[in-house]
């Protein structure tokens, strides 16, 4: 693999794969004597966010335009809006499009709250809203495809966090779950959600994972 050197606005030099140049239209050759060094109009504090995307594209060259990018770290909305402007200026249109989709989704999701009464109306084998901690997932379309068969229905009428932790430990499981996220349970209803076989210390390790994946964080 060929590598090039990026020089940020604050003069930090970072070696990256040549794929980076193909994804960023605003890189300029620094001088004619060294064609492997390029100036990039971005401070070093933002470069990791950009390079994470480049790495992801390299891993999904055949289908990266068709699938949802997930961010490696939990980041604040203000930072994402900054990156939205930066990626637009740099011409990283793929990441810019992903940020637009994600911010729109973030806006939609953070305002979606359901009462326990509403959720309990969807506790059937053909209409299932699953509860994980205070997160709500409409998994109706997944029931017939669930690798574990109808065992998924053992989560009817209760908090499924403990079940999910036992049987779904891979990142792929969390990414798949994220597709079905529709909102949150009202805070005042949390204490009324039935919990069975609930091990608080064990389950709390996974709660942050649910919340990260709900917003596309890998």
Comparing CA positions, the residue from 47, 49, 36 lying closest to residue 11 is: 47
Q: Which domain holds residue 159?
A: 113-214
Does one domain contain both 156 and 129? yes
Mean pLDDT for back-to-back runs of 10 residues, the chain (218 residues)? 88 88 78 74 90 84 70 77 92 88 75 87 88 86 75 74 68 73 87 63 49 46
The pair of structure tokens assigned to 104 is 């729109």
Q: Are strands 3-7 and 123-124 parallel, antiparallel or unpaired?
A: unpaired
Taking a C-beta distance cutoff of 8 angstroms, is the pair 92, 24 a contact? yes
The answer for residues whose C-beta is within 8 angstroms of residue 91's C-beta and 6 or more apart is 24, 25, 26
The pTM for the full model equals 0.54
Cα–Cα distance for residue pair 9/101, rounded to 1 Å: 28
Does one domain contain both 91 and 134? no
Report the domain count for the chain.
Answer: 2
Does one domain contain both 124 and 70? no
Does one domain contain both 87 and 166? no
CATH code, domain with 52:
3.30.710.10
Residue at a domain's end among 90, 109, 128: 109
Does one domain contain both 93 and 67? yes
CATH code, domain with 153:
3.10.120.10
């Amino acid at each position: 693999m060929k590598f090039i050197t990026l020089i940020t606005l604050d003069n930090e030099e970072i070696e990256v794969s040549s794929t980076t140049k193909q994804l960023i239209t605003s890189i300029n050759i620094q001088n004619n004597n060294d064609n492997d060094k390029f100036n990039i109009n971005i401070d070093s504090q933002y470069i990791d966010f950009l390079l994470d995307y480049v790495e992801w594209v390299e891993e999904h060259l055949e289908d990266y335009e068709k699938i949802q990018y997930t961010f490696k770290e939990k980041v604040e909305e203000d930072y994402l809006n900054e990156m939205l402007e930066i990626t637009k200026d740099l011409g990283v249109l793929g990441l810019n499009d992903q940020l637009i989709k994600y911010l729109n989704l973030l806006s939609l999701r953070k305002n979606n709250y359901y009462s326990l009464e509403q959720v309990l109306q969807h506790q059937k084998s053909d209409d299932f809203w699953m509860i994980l901690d205070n997160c709500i997932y409409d998994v109706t379309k997944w029931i017939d495809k669930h690798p574990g068969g109808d065992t998924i229905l053992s989560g009817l009428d209760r908090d499924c966090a403990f079940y999910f932790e036992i049987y779904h430990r891979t990142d792929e499981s969390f990414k798949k779950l994220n597709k079905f996220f529709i909102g949150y349970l009202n805070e005042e209803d949390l204490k009324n959600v039935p919990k069975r076989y609930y091990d608080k210390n064990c389950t709390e390790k996974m709660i942050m994972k649910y919340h990260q994946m709900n917003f596309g964080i890998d």
